[in-house]
């Protein structure tokens, strides 16, 4: 027993000794290795740590395409070349000659190049961009004479392109370099000082979807910035931005563009049952491609100095008195409140005395006796003056204007929408320190005075009449697609943003009066298309500060006898023009648009079908569109 116990003790001590020995050897090897790394090879590894690092190179993501509802390309990317130089790769004695050669080849002033490549950077290995957007001929010249340009290389990259965008500029917008104010707010969302960002339109509204995600390439460089071949780690590829499909139809847009012509104003074509914008034209506009052209300064200067402001989207940002188009709102108030029987008539003699002065009708000779239906179709001011003065007040009129969503933004997916002005006595007191008077009330009853609206607001108001009390959120985005697979990621669904509980008879009677406008009323001689029945309302509103000249409206829809799902709503607004005949053009433009839409015709074909060639001496140039 005792012998076995002693043997076990010896075995334990032997094993312990072996383990301690192994541990000691391992420890000794670690100490030796640390000595070699930290003492013997310290100089070698210190030098390598100083001289070797990874440079992170951004791989720009391609911006997503923008298409119309029929997949016509509206905004895309195109290849472009930039000329860059690595100053340290240029022999010092040749630098001045190389810069002079570049100035000659690229037609750039020498001082411009020297500002980009100052002498303080002559030893730099970081690439410097001399110019971007270089034409193919310049690229070929530099490439073919490479011996004249040591240190110079060509870089291929994508820039934004808008093929044939025309008047869609205000919908699509444009991109440009991010500024400091934008960067301050957007830095945490992934934007950097080199980012390009949407400045207006869809490019701005949906920039986060369009811009994609930049990739990264990691390249080993030494302390002087020189590339070390063969030292790389895995790259992160860029992700292309999403493809946006818009609700607009480029064919209808072109139709509206030519129908409006060079008249300052706007046209909206909308589907009232969904809020989809089929066309949105605002004149004047700009060509956004000018931002990506080397010789753009004079063109941009012309745009910026244009007093008509071609950057301004008059469809959503400009406000005007609604004029007689507001009479549809007044008709709803009269019918819903039962202010007078439908058979009630007013004798229009061309003017009516209210307070201490006369208020005139648009027809100075007077309309004679008419009821509500004929007052709308004939656009009689005296009828609505009388109702406002004798049977209503400003509170009721303002209430019904609000029920039609006037004075409110619709939050269309475009930037810088205006809300207009819905005046009340309290508003006037705050704004002008003056009390409301009877003349203000009767002026507002015919859409004049302090009441102002955007063309989009009036489109919404009339859409409510067609939809029996519902307004759908207007929008220009139809769907978002994956750029690689084409798979639909999301679609915009119709969204009711405003509704009222009026009697269906109210809307039916208003629609009947609007149809009469085009049959026997103020637009009867112009709506000549035989393809579809049109209903609508004309209006002429005086702009504040513009005497003896008026903005002209025509708000209409077709087919008159179809359900809202099959109808289109057209709003045409023309500002006061130097040529006064232009301001009465609104129903003419609408007639061409309806002919083109329902006849599936372009501008040339629509005008020819209407036999209006005499109105367009240069019509032949539109023949092959």
Contacts of 431 (CB under 8 A, 6+ apart): none
Taking Cα atoms as reference points, which of 344, 356, 355 lies closest to residue 383? Answer: 344
Rounded mean pLDDT of 409-423?
96
Structure tokens at 358: 């006369």
Alpha-carbon dihedral sign for residues 448, 453, 459, 460 = negative
Phi, psi torsion values for 537, nearest 5 degrees:
-145, 130
Predicted pLDDT at 2: 52
pLDDT in tens, 44-64: 555 554 444 555 667 788 899
Q: What percent of the chain has pLDDT over 90?
A: 60
For the chain, the residue count is 625
Asked whether the beta carbons of 82 and 132 are under 8 A apart, the reply is yes
Dist CA 264 CA 286 (whole Å): 13
- Look up the pTM and report it: 0.84
- Identify the band that residue 139 occupies on the pLDDT scale cut at 50, 70 and 90: confident
Output the 3-class SS for 523-561: CCCCCCCCCCCCEEEEEEEECCCCCCCEEEEEEEEECCC
Predicted pLDDT at 300: 83
Predicted pLDDT at 51: 46
Dist CA 103 CA 114 (whole Å): 10
* First and final C-alpha spacing in the chain: 114
Res 127 pLDDT > 50 = yes
Domain with CATH 3.40.710.10 in the chain: 250-285+309-622
pLDDT in tens, 252-267: 999 999 999 999 999 9
Higher-pLDDT residue of 542 and 591 is 591
Can you tell me which residue has the tokens 């060639």?
A: 613
Mean pLDDT (the chain) is 88
Q: What percent of the chain has pLDDT over 70?
A: 86
Most confident of 45-54, 230-239, 583-592: 583-592
Rounded mean pLDDT of 272-298?
89
Dist CA 475 CA 410 (whole Å): 9
CATH 3.40.50.300 is right for the domain spanning 56-246? no
Predicted pLDDT at 40: 52
- Identify the band that residue 400 occupies on the pLDDT scale cut at 50, 70 and 90: very high
Alpha-carbon dihedral sign for residues 81, 86, 89, 90 = positive
Predicted pLDDT at 196: 87
Predicted pLDDT at 358: 93
Rounded mean pLDDT of 326-336?
98
pLDDT in tens, 196-214: 899 999 999 999 999 998 8
Q: Can you identify the CATH homologous superfamily of domain 250-285+309-622?
A: DD-peptidase/beta-lactamase superfamily (3.40.710.10)
pLDDT in tens, 87-108: 888 888 888 888 888 888 888 8
Res 231 pLDDT > 60 = no
Structure tokens at 314: 């008059």
Rounded mean pLDDT of 18-42?
65
Rounded mean pLDDT of 478-489?
95
Domain with CATH 3.90.1310.10 in the chain: 56-246
DSSP string, 358-400: EEE-SSTT--EEE-HHHHHHTT-HHHHHHHHHHH--HHHHHHH
- Identify the band that residue 38 occupies on the pLDDT scale cut at 50, 70 and 90: low
């Amino acid at each position: 027993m005792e012998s076995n116990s002693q043997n076990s003790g010896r075995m334990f001590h032997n094993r312990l000794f072996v383990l301690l020995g192994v541990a000691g050897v391992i420890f000794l090897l670690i100490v030796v290795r640390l000595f070699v790394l930290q003492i013997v090879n310290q100089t070698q590894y210190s030098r390598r740590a100083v001289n070797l690092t990874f440079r992170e190179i951004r791989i720009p993501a391609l911006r997503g395409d923008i298409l119309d509802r029929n997949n016509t390309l509206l905004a895309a990317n195109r290849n472009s070349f930039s000329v860059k130089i690595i100053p340290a790769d240029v022999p010092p004695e040749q630098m001045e000659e190389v810069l002079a050669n570049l100035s000659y080849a690229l037609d750039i002033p020498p001082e411009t190049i020297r500002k980009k490549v100052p002498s303080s950077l002559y030893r730099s290995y970081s690439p410097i961009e001399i110019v971007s957007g270089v034409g193919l001929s310049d690229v070929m010249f530099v490439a073919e004479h490479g011996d004249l340009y040591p240190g110079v290389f060509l870089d291929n990259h994508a820039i934004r392109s808008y093929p044939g965008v025309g008047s869609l500029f205000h919908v699509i917008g444009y991109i440009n370099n991010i500024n400091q104010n934008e960067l301050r707010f957007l830095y945490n969302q992934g934007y950097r000082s080199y980012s390009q960002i949407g400045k207006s339109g869809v490019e701005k509204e949906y920039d986060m979807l369009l811009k994609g995600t930049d990739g990264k390439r990691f390249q080993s460089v030494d302390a002087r910035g020189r590339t070390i071949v063969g030292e790389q780690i895995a790259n992160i590829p860029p992700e292309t931005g999403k493809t946006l499909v818009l609700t607009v139809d480029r064919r209808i847009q072109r139709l509206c563009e030519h129908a409006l012509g060079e008249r300052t104003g706007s046209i909206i074509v909308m589907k009232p049952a969904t809020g989809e914008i089929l066309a949105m034209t605002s004149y004047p506009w700009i060509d956004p491609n000018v931002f990506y052209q080397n010789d753009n300064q004079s063109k941009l200067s012309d745009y910026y100095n244009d007093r008509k402001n071609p950057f301004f989207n008059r469809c959503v940002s400009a406000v005007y008195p609604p004029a007689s188009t507001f009479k549809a709102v007044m008709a709803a108030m009269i019918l819903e409140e039962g202010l007078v029987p439908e058979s009630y008539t007013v004798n229009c003699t061309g003017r009516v005395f209210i307070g201490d002065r006369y208020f005139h009708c648009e027809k100075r000779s007077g309309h004679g006796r008419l009821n509500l239906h004929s007052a709308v179709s004939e656009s009689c001011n005296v009828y609505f003056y009388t109702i406002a003065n004798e049977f209503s007040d400003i509170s009721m009129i303002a209430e019904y204007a609000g029920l039609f969503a006037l004075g409110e933004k619709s939050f269309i997916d475009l930037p810088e929408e205006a809300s207009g002005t819905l005046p009340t006595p309290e508003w006037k007191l705050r704004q002008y320190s003056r009390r409301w008077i009877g003349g203000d009330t009767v002026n507002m009853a015919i859409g004049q005075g302090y009441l102002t609206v955007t063309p989009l607001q009036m489109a919404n108001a009339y859409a409510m009449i067609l939809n029996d009390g519902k307004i759908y959120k207007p929008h220009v985005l139809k769907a978002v697609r994956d750029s690689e697979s084409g798979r639909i990621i999301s679609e915009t669904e119709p969204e009711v943003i405003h509704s009222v509980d009026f009697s269906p008879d109210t809307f039916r009677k208003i629609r009947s009066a609007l149809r009469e406008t085009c049959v026997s009323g103020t637009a009867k001689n112009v709506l000549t298309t035989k393809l579809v029945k049109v209903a609508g309302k004309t209006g002429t509103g005086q702009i504040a500060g513009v005497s003896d000249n008026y903005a002209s409206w025509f708000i209409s829809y077709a087919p008159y006898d179809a359900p809202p799902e099959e109808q289109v709503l057209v709003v045409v607004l023309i500002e006061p023009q130097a040529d006064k005949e232009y301001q009465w053009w609104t129903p003419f433009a609408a007639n061409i648009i309806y002919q083109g839409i329902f006849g599936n015709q372009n501008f040339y074909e629509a005008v020819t079908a209407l036999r209006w060639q005499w109105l367009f001496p240069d019509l032949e140039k539109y023949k092959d569109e």
